[in-house]
Protein backbone atom coordinates (compact mmCIF):
# COMPACT_ATOMS: atom_id res chain seq x y z
CA UNK A 1 0.00 0.00 0.00
CA UNK A 2 1.04 3.55 -0.70
CA UNK A 3 1.74 5.48 2.49
CA UNK A 4 -0.90 7.95 3.59
CA UNK A 5 0.40 11.33 4.70
CA UNK A 6 -1.88 13.60 6.69
CA UNK A 7 -1.27 17.33 6.41
CA UNK A 8 -3.22 20.20 7.94
CA UNK A 9 -3.18 22.96 10.50
CA UNK A 10 -2.37 22.41 14.19
CA UNK A 11 -5.39 20.97 15.95
CA UNK A 12 -7.14 19.68 12.83
CA UNK A 13 -6.88 16.13 14.22
CA UNK A 14 -3.98 14.64 12.20
CA UNK A 15 -2.46 12.59 15.02
CA UNK A 16 -5.75 11.21 16.34
CA UNK A 17 -7.00 10.33 12.87
CA UNK A 18 -3.66 8.75 11.91
CA UNK A 19 -3.78 6.57 15.03
CA UNK A 20 -7.38 5.49 14.32
CA UNK A 21 -6.67 4.63 10.68
CA UNK A 22 -3.60 2.66 11.70
CA UNK A 23 -5.60 0.77 14.34
CA UNK A 24 -8.38 -0.07 11.90
CA UNK A 25 -6.04 -1.25 9.15
CA UNK A 26 -3.43 -2.74 11.46
CA UNK A 27 -0.71 -0.50 10.05
CA UNK A 28 2.07 1.44 11.71
CA UNK A 29 1.65 5.12 12.39
CA UNK A 30 4.52 7.57 12.21
CA UNK A 31 3.96 10.79 14.15
CA UNK A 32 6.63 13.16 12.88
CA UNK A 33 6.65 15.52 15.86
CA UNK A 34 7.09 12.60 18.28
CA UNK A 35 9.80 11.04 16.11
CA UNK A 36 11.69 14.34 15.96
CA UNK A 37 11.37 14.76 19.74
CA UNK A 38 12.67 11.23 20.24
CA UNK A 39 15.60 11.74 17.87
CA UNK A 40 16.50 15.06 19.51
CA UNK A 41 15.77 13.86 23.06
CA UNK A 42 13.89 17.10 23.76
CA UNK A 43 10.48 18.62 23.23
CA UNK A 44 9.39 20.67 20.22
CA UNK A 45 9.10 23.66 22.57
CA UNK A 46 12.72 23.20 23.65
CA UNK A 47 13.90 22.83 20.04
CA UNK A 48 12.15 26.10 19.11
CA UNK A 49 13.44 27.89 22.23
CA UNK A 50 17.02 26.64 22.01
CA UNK A 51 17.65 26.50 18.24
CA UNK A 52 14.76 28.36 16.61
CA UNK A 53 12.04 27.51 14.12
CA UNK A 54 14.47 27.32 11.18
CA UNK A 55 16.36 24.49 12.83
CA UNK A 56 13.10 22.64 13.55
CA UNK A 57 12.14 23.01 9.86
CA UNK A 58 15.48 21.48 8.82
CA UNK A 59 14.76 18.51 11.10
CA UNK A 60 11.37 18.04 9.41
CA UNK A 61 12.95 18.09 5.94
CA UNK A 62 15.65 15.66 7.02
CA UNK A 63 12.96 13.35 8.40
CA UNK A 64 11.06 13.42 5.08
CA UNK A 65 14.27 12.67 3.18
CA UNK A 66 14.85 9.62 5.34
CA UNK A 67 11.22 8.49 5.04
CA UNK A 68 11.56 7.96 1.27
CA UNK A 69 11.08 4.27 0.53
CA UNK A 70 8.86 3.50 3.51
CA UNK A 71 5.73 1.44 2.78
CA UNK A 72 2.37 0.76 4.44
CA UNK A 73 2.59 3.63 6.90
CA UNK A 74 0.16 6.29 8.09
CA UNK A 75 2.24 9.41 8.56
CA UNK A 76 1.07 12.39 10.58
CA UNK A 77 3.04 15.57 9.83
CA UNK A 78 3.50 18.80 11.78
CA UNK A 79 1.23 21.66 10.70
CA UNK A 80 4.10 23.67 9.22
CA UNK A 81 5.36 20.97 6.87
CA UNK A 82 4.01 22.80 3.79
CA UNK A 83 5.82 26.05 4.62
CA UNK A 84 9.08 24.69 3.19
CA UNK A 85 8.79 24.38 -0.57
CA UNK A 86 11.34 21.57 -0.83
CA UNK A 87 9.12 19.41 1.38
CA UNK A 88 6.31 19.19 -1.19
CA UNK A 89 8.03 16.85 -3.70
CA UNK A 90 9.37 14.83 -0.77
CA UNK A 91 5.81 14.38 0.55
CA UNK A 92 4.59 13.27 -2.88
CA UNK A 93 7.41 10.76 -3.21
CA UNK A 94 6.45 9.22 0.11
CA UNK A 95 2.75 8.69 -0.58
CA UNK A 96 -0.75 10.05 -0.99
CA UNK A 97 -1.03 13.47 0.62
CA UNK A 98 -4.35 14.03 2.43
CA UNK A 99 -5.23 17.52 3.64
CA UNK A 100 -7.54 17.54 6.68
CA UNK A 101 -9.21 20.89 6.22
CA UNK A 102 -10.51 22.53 9.38
CA UNK A 103 -11.97 25.92 10.22
CA UNK A 104 -10.89 28.25 13.01
CA UNK A 105 -13.65 27.04 15.40
CA UNK A 106 -12.62 23.40 14.99
CA UNK A 107 -8.96 24.28 15.52
CA UNK A 108 -9.68 26.50 18.53
CA UNK A 109 -11.59 23.68 20.27
CA UNK A 110 -8.62 21.34 19.85
CA UNK A 111 -5.81 23.71 20.82
CA UNK A 112 -7.53 25.50 23.71
CA UNK A 113 -5.17 25.67 26.68
CA UNK A 114 -2.37 23.96 24.75
CA UNK A 115 1.11 24.77 25.99
CA UNK A 116 3.10 22.49 23.70
CA UNK A 117 2.82 24.40 20.44
CA UNK A 118 5.32 27.28 20.53
CA UNK A 119 3.66 29.16 17.66
CA UNK A 120 0.38 29.42 19.58
CA UNK A 121 1.80 30.72 22.86
CA UNK A 122 0.38 34.16 22.31
CA UNK A 123 -2.33 36.35 23.84
CA UNK A 124 -4.86 36.23 21.03
CA UNK A 125 -4.71 32.63 19.84
CA UNK A 126 -7.78 32.94 17.62
CA UNK A 127 -6.32 35.92 15.78
CA UNK A 128 -3.01 34.09 15.35
CA UNK A 129 -4.73 30.98 13.95
CA UNK A 130 -6.81 33.09 11.57
CA UNK A 131 -3.79 34.90 10.14
CA UNK A 132 -1.65 31.74 9.91
CA UNK A 133 -4.49 29.85 8.22
CA UNK A 134 -4.82 32.57 5.63
CA UNK A 135 -1.20 32.05 4.62
CA UNK A 136 -1.15 28.27 4.93
CA UNK A 137 -4.52 27.25 3.47
CA UNK A 138 -3.35 27.71 -0.16
CA UNK A 139 -0.16 25.82 0.66
CA UNK A 140 -2.12 22.82 2.03
CA UNK A 141 -4.44 22.96 -1.00
CA UNK A 142 -1.51 23.06 -3.38
CA UNK A 143 0.24 20.14 -1.71
CA UNK A 144 -2.82 17.89 -1.35
CA UNK A 145 -3.73 14.92 -3.50
CA UNK A 146 -7.00 14.65 -1.60
CA UNK A 147 -8.86 17.21 0.53
CA UNK A 148 -11.09 16.00 3.35
CA UNK A 149 -13.27 18.40 5.32
CA UNK A 150 -12.78 17.71 9.02
CA UNK A 151 -14.90 20.43 10.61
CA UNK A 152 -18.23 19.25 11.97
CA UNK A 153 -17.48 15.58 11.43
CA UNK A 154 -16.79 12.76 13.85
CA UNK A 155 -13.34 11.18 13.98
CA UNK A 156 -14.97 7.94 12.83
CA UNK A 157 -16.43 9.45 9.66
CA UNK A 158 -13.17 11.22 8.77
CA UNK A 159 -11.30 7.95 9.26
CA UNK A 160 -13.77 6.18 6.95
CA UNK A 161 -13.33 8.89 4.32
CA UNK A 162 -9.56 8.49 4.37
CA UNK A 163 -9.80 4.70 4.21
CA UNK A 164 -12.15 4.99 1.23
CA UNK A 165 -9.39 6.59 -0.85
CA UNK A 166 -6.93 3.77 -0.29
Confirm or reject binding of residue 108 to ligand S3P (CB under 6 A).
Answer: no
Q: 25 or 119, CB closer to ligand S3P?
A: 119
Count CB-CB contacts under 10 A for residue 79.
22
DSSP state of 81: G
The only residue of 17, 59, 78, 91 in contact with ligand S3P, by rule CB under 6 A = 78
Residue 119 binds ligand S3P, judged by CB under 6 A:
yes
Residue 44 touches ligand S3P, criterion: CB under 6 A: yes
- In angstroms, the CA 143 to CA 85 distance is 10
| Residue 146 beta carbon to ligand S3P: minimum distance, rounded to whole angstroms | 18
CB 99 within 8 A of CB 8: yes
Task: State phi, psi for 122 to the nearest 5 degrees.
Answer: -145, 165
Looking only at residues 6 through 25 of this chain, which bind ligand S3P when binding is defined by CB under 6 A?
10, 14-15
Residue 84 lies near ligand S3P (rule: CB under 6 A): no
Indicate whether 118 belongs to the interface with ligand S3P (CB under 6 A): yes
| Helix, strand, coil abundance in the chain, percent, nearest 5 | 60, 15, 30
Query: What is the 8-class DSSP label of residue 83?
Result: G
Instruction: By CB under 6 A, name the binding residues for ligand S3P.
Output: 10, 14-15, 33, 44, 78-80, 117-119
Amino acid sequence: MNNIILIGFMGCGKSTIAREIAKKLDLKVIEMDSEIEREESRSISDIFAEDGEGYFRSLETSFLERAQGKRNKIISTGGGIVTVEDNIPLLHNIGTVVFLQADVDHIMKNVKGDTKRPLLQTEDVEEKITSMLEIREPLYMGAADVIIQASGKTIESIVDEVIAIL
